[in-house]
Structure 1
């Protein structure tokens, strides 16, 4: 720790047992040992893990014993169906899988750099942004920046914020109204929610409709983490009425298909209906409620953008 205007403080006193053990633990968490540990957990036997790694079972046993000794706990227990991880082993296995996946991603990305790729951008976005806006925006970006790779993953808006905060992505796109916590948030796009109804439904010819007018009907809704479902649920509660949700589905095309089949009314972004509604013969009626006018947000960690993500960030802000 450094005092303002002073020199760095040098810790005094003997190291704690935890501090002394940390280097030994880290030295044993090499990728080869972790791969062997994961293989034992997956195969259930030392021999199976040895075959995968093309080494002697005695070498696998030795590495496992050294790892358990360094960590100070038993990682695997023998059972009637082979070796199974202990609670400590489950913890290590969870982190091991993440570390091995990261190591594989590092290998892939460095190979891409060797072939001339200038950078990678990891993006998390909600379904509304992915269906309505990102196909065109990313196509234009990659046409101008062909040496940059974009990894896009769909998550609900709260998951987008968590992922960007945790460093799983460089930037994210979520629904307005989402708690963006420590992230910087910028307007990206605006959209409007519409009610989708079967052709010929009594509401189909309306210029607009309020959610209150739909609450006597069954609804088809998105999954419980969806920002659209949350908005509908909260508005129904404000009105003191139940939302008669007949079924949860995972996607907008499923909402339109279920609506077409007469399972209930649905709510989707207007741009989604423009893409899917006509071919499924479902009509759209604009919702008149204030919550139906939405702003999608572009979120980033403060000061965390490297050159490639910064280029995409600037492009998306300009596109919006």
Structure 2
């Protein structure tokens, strides 16, 4: 059977080369990245295809693209390589007294507003457990958990979670950020449509806030006048302070970054401005004991201030 043949014959170096060819687009660049001769790299790929009895790449004049079989191998191969790397990290940590290791992905809102204190308190309760946290946009969080890059993730609830198991983590409220002398600064609340005549400072294009505000503008039949994209809430506050436009950010992010810069934030009254952040995992029952500890701790924080 092919599965038994794979166990005996598939080596990690070839698998890593296969992934590199996909990511680099050409065999030459992939071979250079993996420090292997092009002829040797080519032979490894040919042998891999012969062993599988499948064509993995379409060879083109300007590079190589995956076949459907190649896409399947890419999905599983990345997960295998990640698991090997994770195994090495976790085994190395044991020599320093660490008893467990959790890989986690989260969006910017969760990292800025809630996770610093939550992870601090969790670590105080479980000092021999280690958490590896990486920031990604909500869609990237979902894909990373699906691909096995992380044990659990936190994303906005309006993201397509693609069948992942999800529970509520926290809630936040979006606000309109502006200079104190802005004509709307004395309002107690604003609907998003009322702001669409203003220039905007937006978060990076993949952020859930950026996508939601563009969708809301389309629903209102108006244009979102976006002057600039910025990578985070601190950069947004500085650009708003410089009168580059107004912005949308969570209340706690304003309290952390905007208030000290002399900016004003007015609550959005739209229903979508009250958001849920959700914990996502592939299979709750399949979580490791360490991942389950963190999952249950973060889920229990729902409703905390």
Structure 2 vs 1, CA of residues 75 and 194 (structure 1 numbering), >3 Å: closer, same or farther? Answer: closer
Kept in 2, the 8 Å contact 1:118–1:147? The answer is yes
Kept in 2, the 8 Å contact 1:165–1:182? The answer is no
Deviates more, 1:134-143 or 1:90-99: 90-99
Where do residues 89-238 of structure 1 align in structure 2 (5 Å cutoff)?
Answer: 99-238=80-219
Match of 2:24? Answer: none
Kept in 2, the 8 Å contact 1:124–1:152? The answer is yes
Match of 2:60? Answer: none
Kept in 1, the 8 Å contact 2:78–2:147? The answer is no
Q: Secondary structure at the match of 1:267?
A: strand
Structure 2 vs 1, CA of residues 66 and 129 (structure 1 numbering), >3 Å: closer, same or farther? Answer: closer
Superposition deviation, residue 191 in structure 1: 1.0
Where do residues 1-320 of structure 1 align in structure 2 (5 Å cutoff)?
Answer: 23-32=4-13, 41=28, 49=36, 70=51, 99-300=80-281, 301-320=283-302
Superposition deviation, residue 42 in structure 1: 5.1
- Residues 236-292 of structure 1 deviation map (CA, whole Å, 9 limit, x = unaligned): 222221111222222112221221222211000010011111333322111122211
Superposition deviation, residue 116 in structure 1: 2.8
CA separation in 2, counterparts of 1:182 and 1:264?
A: 38
CA separation in 2, counterparts of 1:172 and 1:86?
A: 30
Give the gaps of 5 or more residues in structure 1. 1-19, 51-56, 77-83
CA separation in 2, counterparts of 1:223 and 1:61?
A: 38
CA separation in 2, counterparts of 1:64 and 1:238?
A: 49
RMSD (Å) for aligned C-alpha atoms: 3.6
Kept in 1, the 8 Å contact 2:17–2:30? The answer is no
Kept in 1, the 8 Å contact 2:82–2:148? The answer is no
Structure 2 vs 1, CA of residues 28 and 243 (structure 1 numbering), >3 Å: closer, same or farther? Answer: same
Structure 2 vs 1, CA of residues 136 and 71 (structure 1 numbering), >3 Å: closer, same or farther? Answer: same
CA separation in 1, counterparts of 2:270 and 2:65?
A: 53
Deviates more, 1:291-300 or 1:179-188: 179-188
TM-score, normalised via structure 2 length: 0.78
Structure 2 vs 1, CA of residues 31 and 201 (structure 1 numbering), >3 Å: closer, same or farther? Answer: same
Superposition deviation, residue 24 in structure 1: 4.4
Kept in 1, the 8 Å contact 2:108–2:136? The answer is yes
Give the gaps of 5 or more residues in structure 2. 22-26, 58-62
CA separation in 1, counterparts of 2:124 and 2:186?
A: 41
Superposition deviation, residue 49 in structure 1: 3.3
